[in-house]
C-alpha cells in the first residue's frame, strides 16, 4: 500500500478494506472509499515563492476565507468512512495554531491516514500537530533555495532536530522538488537528493507549470532517470512507467 500509516494496527485494519476496493475497481465498480481527499485549511503562507501555483490561484479574487474549526469538523464528519487518507493543504497548513485540534478530531473520527503538504519552516512550533500526521510532503527545490537560502537552511536543520526529538511520533517525510528550467543537476538537484538520502527521506520530482502552461516533460524524465543513479526505486517516488506514459501522451 502506498498510503502511509504510523500505526501498524491501523495499517493491518485497513489492508483488507483497501484490497476489497481494488477488487471493486477491477470489476468496473466504484470503491467504497476514496484513496485520498484534499482539504484546504488556509490560504495564508509565511513565504512568497515566485513559482507558487496556489498563490497565483488565490490572487485571482478567489473568495477563500480560512474555514473555522466547526466548519472543518463538519467536513471531517462528512468524510469519515468515505476516504482512506486526508491530505491537508494551504497556503501553509502549519500557520494555523489550531491545526492540532483539526487533526486530532480527524483521528477521533477514524481517518486512517493523514498527510500534510508543507514548506517545513514551522515544524518546531507545530510539533503537537505533527503527532497526528503520518506523512509530510516538504517542498524543497533549487528555486526555493535560491530565493530563501537562509530560511531553507534553517528548515532542513529544524526538520532533523524535530525528528530526533519526536522519535517515532515524527511523520515520515517526502521531499517534493519542483523542477525549474534553469536548474542544474550538480549544483541544484544533487544537494537535495543527498539531503533526502542521508536522512532516509523519500523524494519526488514535479514538473513546473509555467504561465503559458508549458511543461517540460523531457526535462522531468531526464532528471528522474539520472536521480535513479543515486536513490533506489522505493525512495524515488516517480514511477518509471508512469513518467514514460506522461511523455507519450504529450508527444502524441
pLDDT band at 251, cuts 50/70/90?
A: very low
pTM for this predicted structure: 0.90
Handedness of CA 78, 83, 88, 89 (dihedral sign): negative
The span from the CA of 147 to the CA of 49, in Å, is: 7
Task: Give the contacts of 231 (CB within 8 A, at least 6 positions apart).
Answer: 193, 196, 197, 203
| Range scoring the smallest mean pLDDT among 52-66, 99-113, 148-162 | 52-66
Find how far residue 94's CA is from the centre of its chain.
Answer: 13
What letter does residue 188 receive in the DSSP assignment? I
CATH for 35-251? Answer: 3.20.20.70
Where do the domains of the chain lie?
Answer: 35-251
Beta bridge partners of 206: 178
pLDDT band at 52, cuts 50/70/90?
A: confident
Query: What DSSP element (H or E) covers 160?
Result: helix 149-166
Amino acid at each position: 500500500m502506498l498510503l502511509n500509516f504510523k500505526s501498524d494496527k491501523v495499517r493491518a485494519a485497513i489492508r483488507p478494506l483497501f484490497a476489497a476496493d481494488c477488487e471493486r475497481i477491477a470489476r468496473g465498480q466504484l470503491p467504497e472509499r476514496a484513496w485520498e481527499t484534499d482539504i484546504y485549511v488556509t490560504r495564508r503562507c509565511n513565504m512568497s515563492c515566485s513559482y507558487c501555483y496556489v498563490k497565483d490561484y488565490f490572487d485571482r479574487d478567489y473568495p477563500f476565507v480560512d474555514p473555522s474549526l466547526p466548519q472543518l469538523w463538519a467536513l471531517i464528519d462528512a468524510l469519515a468512512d468515505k476516504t482512506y487518507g486526508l491530505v491537508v493543504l494551504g497556503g501553509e497548513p502549519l500557520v494555523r495554531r489550531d491545526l492540532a485540534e483539526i487533526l486530532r478530531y480527524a483521528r477521533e473520527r477514524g481517518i486512517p491516514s493523514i498527510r500534510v503538504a508543507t514548506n517545513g519552516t514551522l515544524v518546531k512550533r507545530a510539533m503537537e500537530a505533527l503527532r497526528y500526521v503520518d506523512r509530510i510532503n516538504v517542498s524543497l527545490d533549487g528555486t526555493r533555495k535560491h530565493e530563501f537560502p537562509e530560511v531553507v537552511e534553517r528548515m532542513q536543520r529544524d526538520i532533523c532536530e524535530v525528528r530526533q526529538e519526536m522519535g517515532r511520533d515524527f511523520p515520515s517525510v517526502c521531499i517534493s522538488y519542483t523542477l525549474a528550467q534553469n536548474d542544474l543537476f550538480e549544483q541544484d538537484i544533487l544537494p537535495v537528493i543527498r539531503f533526502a538520502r542521508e536522512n532516509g527521506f523519500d523524494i519526488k520530482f514535479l514538473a513546473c507549470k509555467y504561465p503559458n502552461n508549458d511543461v517540460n516533460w523531457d526535462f522531468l524524465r531526464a532528471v528522474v532517470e539520472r536521480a535513479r543513479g543515486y536513490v533506489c526505486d522505493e525512495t524515488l517516488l516517480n514511477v518509471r512507467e508512469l513518467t514514460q506514459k506522461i511523455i507519450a501522451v504529450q508527444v502524441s
